Amino acid sequence: MKRFLYILFLFGLTCFSQDNLGAWLLASQQQYANESSNDSFDISGLVFRMDETSVDATATVEANDTDIWTDLINGNNATNTGTDSPELHITSGSVRQVTFDGSNDFLRVGSPAVLDFAPTTDEFTIVVKLGENISASGGYFLCKSDNSSTASSNRQYGLGYDNGDIFCFVGGTDSRGTKTASSGELVIMTVSTTALNVWSNTTQVITDASIGNNTTTGNLIIGARTDGSGAHFNGDLQAVLMYDRVITAQEITDMQNQYVP
């Protein structure tokens, strides 16, 4: 009996060739990597992501100019077009963030089709992770608007802070909630075809069933309202992400659990 089992064992080793062993090990490693991933931002529908890993690689020390913030998903990079360049800020924990001075600097993404969300037709989600230093005056985290006009009706979508209010524009219609910006804050805005909701960390600060349907061919800007027209952001941004769907309540909770200070 022992001899039979030994022969069976040798037969199994022969059948399990080196190629099969390599494939099994590779599959096991991939499964482990998938199960070990805990990035709650990395979910379906992600079409735009700029974070601490994709800040201008040529900026290596505090206050270096950051002339590009790379989109890790579709290559729709944000590039410097302001009078001044945003600068690199490195936190005490060595996290790389982009600092805007609140007056002259911003980054232009352009108007790629994948980010041309049409309110009342398309559903989408915007997530912004604020950085370490935030001014109470705030400003726009981002905005897609008509470049030739500052009228609110020409803002396809936008999100930011204004002296104690968090605000957003969807289809030319604005919504506001009372909330002072805070260091490291996670801001999530979901937009369905009929309503929008905004969370600051774990608190829902805006819910509005009234959204507009205006669109524009203008650029998406990070850190200002439109190309050089003011309402510049004053502070640090750590991440900007967009999804081409309304993320679920559980996905929102997962992000809050991981990224809220």
213 & 142 share domain: yes
**Residues β-bridged to residue 157:** 144, 170
Are 17 and 100 within one domain? no
- With vertex at residue 163, the alpha carbon angle to CA 160 and CA 169, rounded to the nearest 5 degrees, is 30
* pLDDT mean over 83-95: 95
Here the CATH number for the domain that contains residue 124 is 2.60.120.200
Q: What is the DSSP string of 206-228?
A: EEES-------SPPEEESSSSTT
Collapsed DSSP state (helix, strand, coil) of residue 4: helix
pLDDT of residue 242: 98
Q: Which domain holds residue 164?
A: 46-259
Residues 109 and 11 in one domain: no
Q: Are residues 218 and 143 in the same domain?
A: yes
The pLDDT, as a whole number, for residue 212 is 96
101-123 pLDDT, tens digit each: 999 899 999 999 999 999 999 99
| Domain membership flag for residue 30 | yes
pTM: 0.86
- Count CB neighbours of 203 within 10 A: 11
Clarify whether residues 91 and 144 are in a common domain.
yes
Handedness of CA 253, 258, 260, 261 (dihedral sign): positive
Q: Let me know whether 139 and 29 are in one domain.
A: no
Residue 60 confidence (pLDDT): 97
**Model pLDDT, residue 153:** 84
Residue 254 lies in a domain: yes
72 by Cβ neighbours in 10 Å (0-12 / 13-18 / 19+) ranks as middle
Domains identified in the chain, total number: 2
71 lies in the same domain as 172: yes
Closest CA to 246 of 199, 192, 173, 201: 192
pLDDT at 99 over 50: yes
pLDDT at residue number 37:
60
**Lookup: tokens for 15:** 């059948």
- Say if residue 9's pLDDT is above 60: no
Asked if residue 114 and residue 7 are part of one domain, the reply reads no
Statement to judge: residues 20 and 118 lie in one domain: no
108 and 87 within one domain: yes
- Across the chain, mean pLDDT equals 88
Residue type, 99: T
Give 180-213 pLDDT, tens digit per residue.
899 999 999 999 999 999 999 999 999 999 899 9
Give the C-alpha separation, 177 to 189, whole Å.
12
| Per-residue model confidence (pLDDT) at position 23 | 47
Same domain, 95 and 201: yes
Q: How far is 243 from 43, CA to CA, in rounded Å?
A: 9
In a domain, 239, yes or no: yes
Report in angstroms the alpha-carbon separations of 87 from 97, 175, 248: 8, 30, 34
Q: Which of 119, 111, 112 is nearest to 215 (CA)?
A: 119
Inside any domain, residue 41:
no
